Chain A
């Protein structure tokens, strides 16, 4: 689907996209401050900063809230938001379809299966020694494994067919869904509740330990992804034309797929299923600054991180002292915005 708006810009969009780097950085900075300053407890960021500046000791509550809760949560929000948005942009570029997201290639289904295995079988398997690390680890392995299986299925004689990958992804998602269903049937009530909450996504479980593992994986994948801009632009012309203009097509595809598997797998592992960031963010940016992936990828990372942080702030204040799963917030805010964008556009051609 390519949407054409009659009111589209009639000028060079590179300036707009570069200006967007700047404004999105400011938005991210504001979101970070909001994320550190706003929370259910009465701990004030400013009071703590004041104490730090004057070298006064913090009391335990301030220390825990700021350094063990809000700060890891802030960092988790940034890397997860960026990972989801950039993965969305990568998948859309790779599949040449603005509706693609990591779910299409079975990442979500694979991560979901991993999570179900951890939740339902965790207590009865010897792997229980992994403790709290089991769930994120299993989700990551599930996401990564499903992506690699699809990649192998879709690659023949060194060439990866994205169409095959798409179709095999649907089959694999169905298979993973069935396996999950079988385990869900054997789950008890508490496990079902755990599973439901996991599927809704949350940054609640953010911790330094998880960041230490997932953070570098996601950051590495994102840095590599940022080099794929020209390659994805070329792929927009089709694989043959991309090759003609000098794009190493197979390497671009492989890199994009591995980046998505690593970034999404790690993001889903530490935050559960968070929808809509991956579709809405690149789409909004394409409307505002054009589809040039060289700028789109960085802007997606910035906007994705900002939006997830803001959604997280909402999720923790709206029913405080309880928290709303963040997947609910992103869907409630994201879906109407998305529909509004679609309605606002005059012509939608070439689906």
Chain B
């Protein structure tokens, strides 16, 4: 009984720390909101910051299914691609005569809805699988949908892609994405405190136990998977409009999923702050590696992933708080479990192995 539990009393005792985190987050938000208004912020800087916000947003969405619910999705970037393509198709619609494409706002919203709708259908099927089987099924879904987009050329333009009308108001996109990320952070923070959030963590820790306690696990995990797909689809739709061009190889990129997984693991799986901190840190690390270690940047990223998994399994947030989980536990690798901040193999102290069974 060495440590206070994260119950209501413990939360009350940690309130000063929680308030400090909240104040810190608010300061960061204000700085990011004011930054473009200061002189000298170039369009290139705004684009870089917008892409960072996109990475953070996708990581937060990935964390909803991967971190909170325990379903490690290796194909999450597919929803980004679907959102991007649905929006691009609607905007660039053409009849025999003049262009009859949709205006941007409804096209972006419908693009996100298409991603969410497809996520609901595919999630309903793939979330019957567990552990690595689900991960591989989603990777397969990603590859399959990318190839469908590639061969369905009358609608998608095939390998040539689609060109959108240019609209390069970088500041507008920056503020829209900043607002989206802020809303996602607040939403995730609130979700974590609700019955819905608690039920997701119950699914992650023991799905059979959650079912026998009356939780409709299929409904809840499909709902959160669909929302994550919709939200990532929204980021994809915004990206397509900013990029003014989509083709299968830039809209459906495996690295987007890898970044979301790595960023969330670096920050802390199943935590609110984890994907934000991790995705932001990873984004700048990647920029640095790309700039200074062009030939070996992928190797360096691989080493970083190994270091995270082995030495900071609970991520940066896990260094100060033992909430969250690790890939070892999510995939149920036999015998491996977290004790405090360290990975251990074999039976746990106090008969925990029994509880974990």
Query: Real complex partners, A and B?
Result: no
List residues of chain A with CB under 8 Å of any chain B CB: none
